[in-house]
Structure 1
Amino acid sequence: MTTVQQNGQEGGLSAMKTPPVVSPQAWEAARQRLLVKEKQQTRARDALAAERRRMPWLAVEKDYVFDGPQGKASFTDLFEGRRQLIVYRAFYEPGVFGWPERACRGCSMVADQVAHVAHLNARDTTLVFVSRAPQDKIADLKARMGWTMPWYTITDGFDKDFGVDEWHGTNVFIRDGGRVFRTYYINNRGDEQMGGTWNYLDITPLGRQEVWENSPEGYPQTPTYKWWNWHDSYVPEAAPDKEWVKVSDVGEAAFREQQAGTKP
């Protein structure tokens, strides 16, 4: 380890035990050693997601009611016609520090991380936030903070029934017609990784729905990459863009060729 002096710069690295400074060759060797472990972690994460897709389901027997921008909404309304639903319980209500101008700091950080929901929607998945704040306050908060995800008001025991009465958490559901099933739940530090499209899809019962995934027989799967699109260009039931298919095929082939020559 090397001790770096501050050199008069405010907020420098004075007295920190920093790693050594090495040659480009030594740096690349260290990166390759770490990459082996990182790939192991990626494969382990994929395996965990595959196991998650095989978790048993729990039938939701109650009829929950929410307030939304358009008025009363049933639990199935939250799906917006899609098959999967991810529900994050955010703390924004009287008694929360900062009310009514602010929501919980942690929940606000989660909201700030949420990627464009069009990519989730393209995989038959809806993401919503729920709180006990009234809709007018939620609308004001969303406008002030620049958040665009659907956000509903809890009006009954939904939060208590699904483990998010006194704490934040993310619940996942799947719908079969009018029947709804709870398939997964995560909270505490598990929530801090949420926000990205891939992390959200990895906690759903259908996953990313790409052909490389280890999923139960009969699960929907499409060719990898081919469904991707600009967030303002998804069209329901549209086939993948032919030009994008060509581009992604070339990219995949080049990547496989590169990997074949660089395997440790």
Structure 2
Amino acid sequence: MMSKQMTGTREEWLAARRALLEEEKKLTRRSDELARRRQQLPWVRIDKDYQFETDAGSASLADLFQGRSQLLVYHFMFGPDYEAGCPSCSAIADGFEGFAIHLANHDVTLSAVSRAPLGKLQAYKRRMGWTFPWASSFGSDFNADFNIWFTETQQRSGDVEYNYRHEEAGGQLDQEDGPEALFAAMCRTDVPTYLSERPGMSAFALQDGVVYHSYSTYARGLDGLWGMYQWLDRAPKGRNETGVWWRRHDEYGEA
């Protein structure tokens, strides 16, 4: 059912649209400035020897660049005890297929990284019809070091720093309903196990054989990468959400 919405003449619409355009231009200029500030962050040299498993075999972090000088990693929530990837991460990753090739031809490699063993990632990738690179960090410190994996003990004790702030001890670990419980069920695991993984993205540079970390963002910082929301924000009713409505793209017929 449509919500009650103000209507008007074309002239009234045009006047309101022109006023809104000025605000959109301010936001665009502000976004451009924030992008410049991201690029001005100091690079941090990475000396730890992280190891990954990929379709091409064992790989270092430098290998994930695939010969390019820039690497964007999406920290995809898919833990070793998940039976399927996170539905929200899956919705974001649906967009990777279209622009990964463009990034690759602009000196940027886009890769997902998850803690699940490579075999699980490959099977899920086939199910989803994806072709972008996806590396397993199983057995590596990579996810913990980039603050997107925490043990249940850490979560219950409050020893968690995610999105540059400390979380309250216990958090939502024992909830039996709500989005986290639904997502956990969709991954066929429990809430503490589901919440041990967190979403994020990190950017890296490779220069003179040395890998540097340049940027990471988490939580709502990923909104700009979630393509469907960019479209919904421009739809007549916006996001129009009263709960979790999205599914993996091959599950909508089951909803």
**Matches of 2:61 and 2:88, distance apart in 1:** 25
Does residue 149 of structure 2 align to residue 165 of structure 1?
yes
Decide whether the 8 Å contact of 2:80 with 2:117 is kept in 1: no
Partner of 2:88 in structure 1? 106
Would you say 1:130 and 2:152 are equivalent positions?
Answer: no
The aligned residue for residue 31 of structure 2 is: 45
1:177: how far off? 2.4
In structure 1, the residue corresponding to 2:94 is in which secondary structure? Answer: helix
What displacement does 1:193 show? 1.5
Amino acid corresponding to residue 221 of structure 2 in structure 1 = G
**Alignment match, 1:118:** 101
Among 28, 37, 42, the residue aligned to 2:14: 28
For 2:19, the aligned partner's letter is: R
Q: For 1:41-120, what aligned pairs fall within 5 Å after superposition?
A: 41-96=27-82, 99=83, 102-114=84-96, 115-120=98-103
Cα separation, 2, equivalents of 1:180 and 1:91: 24
Distance in 1, matches of 2:81 and 2:58, equals: 24
Q: Is the 8 A contact 2:148 2:200 kept in 1?
A: yes
How far the C-alpha of 1:116 sits from its partner, in A, is: 2.6
Tell me by how many angstroms 1:137 deviates: 1.7
Distance 2:37 2:223 in 1: 21
Under a length normalisation based on structure 1, what TM-score does the superposition of the two structures give? 0.65
1:195: Cα distance to partner?
5.3
SS in 2 for 1:171: strand
Deviations 1:110-133 (A, max 9, x none): 111223311111221011001122
Contact 1:110 1:192 in 2 (8 A): no
After superposition, the C-alpha distances for 1:1-24 in whole angstroms (9 at most, x for unaligned) are xxxxxxxxxxx22xx332x21111
In the TM superposition, what whole-angstrom CA distance separates every residue of 1:49-107 from its partner, at most 9, and x where no partner exists? Answer: 111111111110111110011211111100001000011111213333xx1xx211121
Separation in structure 1 between the aligned mates of residue 208 and residue 42 of structure 2, nearest angstrom: 19
Q: Which residue of 2 aligns with 1:224?
A: none
CA distance in 2, matches of 1:38, 1:23: 22
Which of 157, 177, 186 is residue 208 of structure 2 equivalent to? 177
Q: Return the letter of the residue paired with 1:87.
A: V
- Mapping 1:208-247, distance limit 5 Å: none
Q: Indicate the structure (1 or 2) with the bigger Cα radius of gyration.
A: 1
| Higher relative contact order structure (alpha carbons within 8 Å, sequence separation ≥ 6) | 2
In structure 1, how many angstroms separate the alpha carbons of the residues matched to 2:226 and 2:131? Answer: 13
AA at the equivalent of 1:22: G
Q: What is the root-mean-square deviation of aligned Cα atoms in Å?
A: 1.6
Structure 1 contact 89–130 (Cα < 8 Å) conserved? yes
Counterpart of 1:108 in 2: which secondary structure? helix
Q: CA deviation at 1:109?
A: 1.4
Percent identical pairs in the alignment equals 39
Q: What displacement does 1:41 show?
A: 0.3
Which residue type is aligned with residue 131 of structure 1? S
CA contact (8 A) 1:93 1:131 kept: yes
User: Which ranges in structure 2 are unaligned for 5 or more consecutive residues?
Assistant: 151-197, 231-255
Instruction: Classify the secondary structure of the residue corresponding to 1:61.
Output: coil
Deviation at 1:171, TM superposition (A): 0.7
Corresponding residue number in structure 1 for 2:4:
17
Q: How many residues align?
A: 179
